[in-house]
Amino acid sequence: MIRDDAHHARWMELALEQARAALTTTDVPIGAVIIGPDGSVVATGHNEREATGDPTAHAEVLALRAAAAALKDTGHDDGWRLAQCTLVVTLEPCAMCAGAIVLARIPRVVFGAWDEKAGASGSVFEVLREPRLNHWVEVFPGVREDECAALLTGFFRSMR
């Protein structure tokens, strides 16, 4: 698996594109991309809570669901274990998403902006590296942080 900063930055651009897609609705612009072991995009997602009325329709959860389905169709293990993938997301995952990441056995998370109010990857909680859980995640925070934060700040400013 490729883990250098240049790849993280390039992958974050894909997540930012997904976040911008959420702007077509009133959803918070958060985007996620699942990268496979060969560096290719397996699945994408962006927030759809407002669009679908589903409180679990966070970018990460939607990307995890799509990746599991895509990998199951290719005969990759049982599909739901994403043990060779990387999740790239524009905002630090919340507790729900971090729990889903752990359960999906994602080994690496790359995120952009910190979420000082609800983050579960080091800000408020530390779910991804909780030693009492049976799976731990390597975390790469702050990738293109300013761009990710600016997208969110601009969105919330426009909502006021």
Tell me: the pLDDT tens digits for 19-65? 999 999 899 999 999 999 899 999 999 999 999 999 999 999 999 99
Alpha helices in 22-117 (DSSP H): 49-52, 59-73, 95-103
110, two tokens: 């790359």
What is the average pLDDT across 90-104?
97
27 versus 77: the higher-pLDDT residue is 27
Domain spans of the chain, in order of start: 3-159
User: Which tens digits make up the pLDDT trace of 52-62?
Assistant: 999 999 999 99
pLDDT of residue 78: 67
The CATH number fitting domain 3-159, selected from 3.40.140.10, 3.40.50.150, 3.30.70.2390, 3.40.50.2300: 3.40.140.10
Q: Indicate the pLDDT class of residue 1, thresholds 50, 70 and 90.
A: very low
On the 0-12 / 13-18 / 19+ scale of CB atoms within 10 A, 8 is buried
Rounded CA-CA distance 119/43 in Å is: 23
Residue 85 among known ligand-binding residues: no
pLDDT of residue 23: 92
Supply the residues annotated as catalytic: 60
Rounded CA-CA distance 104/115 in Å is: 22
Residue 46 among known ligand-binding residues: no
pTM, entire model: 0.93
Residue 58 among known ligand-binding residues: yes
Mean pLDDT of the chain: 93
